Amino acid sequence: MVKKLRPRELRKRTPTPEEVEEIPRQPLLFVLDNVLDTFNVGALFRLADAVAVKRVYLCDQTPTPPNHRIHRSAVGTEAWVPWEYRSNTASLITELRELDPKLKIIAVEQYPGSVSYDQLKISLPAAIIVGHETRGISPEVLALADVIVELPMLGVTRSLNVVASAAVVVYKLLEGTDL
């Protein structure tokens, strides 16, 4: 069992590569396609740590650590979650499919033909893609997804925050797994 750290400890402590490596990881990837808000990027790192994703990919114009705003909202978890930057999200998705043909690509987006998150019936391994806060996931990347998932909006707003949406979908995916 990995020792749980308080926010103050996370912000001040840099893990060793061995500490990061020994964390048991879920067969999950996060792919951020032009997520521009640094606080959202940081919060997605915090979510990635919470569910122990294998890797976070920061793509295209998504800001990367080191960044004090990412660090603040990530509460230091960006040091504990493996991540890498990729200049092209579509190329990354193609590469990930070649590396693991069983990998399911899930785009979280309000889109014609999308399925409600509660209908999601996909087994792991999976990559969850979230996109730009206003424009969403690029059409080129959406075309590569195995499934496009949305969260029903019952009020007046058209969409939910990218981090909240990712959290709902990732925990739905983990439902019934042996955490």
Going by pLDDT thresholds of 50, 70 and 90, the confidence category of residue 1 is low
Name the region of 137 (left: φ>0; alpha: ψ -120 to 50; beta: rest): beta
- Name the amino acid, one letter, at 55: R
The vertex-174 CA angle with 139 and 104, nearest 5°, equals 35
CA distances, 102 to each of 28, 38, 70, 124 (Å): 12, 31, 32, 8
Question: In the CATH hierarchy, which fold is given to the domain comprising 10-174?
Answer: Alpha/beta knot (3.40.1280)
* Residue 11 CB-density burial (10 A; 0-12 exposed, 13-18 middle, 19+ buried): middle
Domain layout of the chain by residue ranges: 10-174
pLDDT in tens, 62-108: 999 999 999 999 999 999 999 999 999 999 999 999 999 999 999 99
pLDDT in tens, 30-51: 999 999 999 999 999 999 999 9
Q: Are strands 26-33 and 53-59 parallel, antiparallel or unpaired?
A: parallel
- Mean pLDDT across the chain: 94
pTM of the model: 0.95
Cβ atoms < 10 Å from Cβ of 66: 8
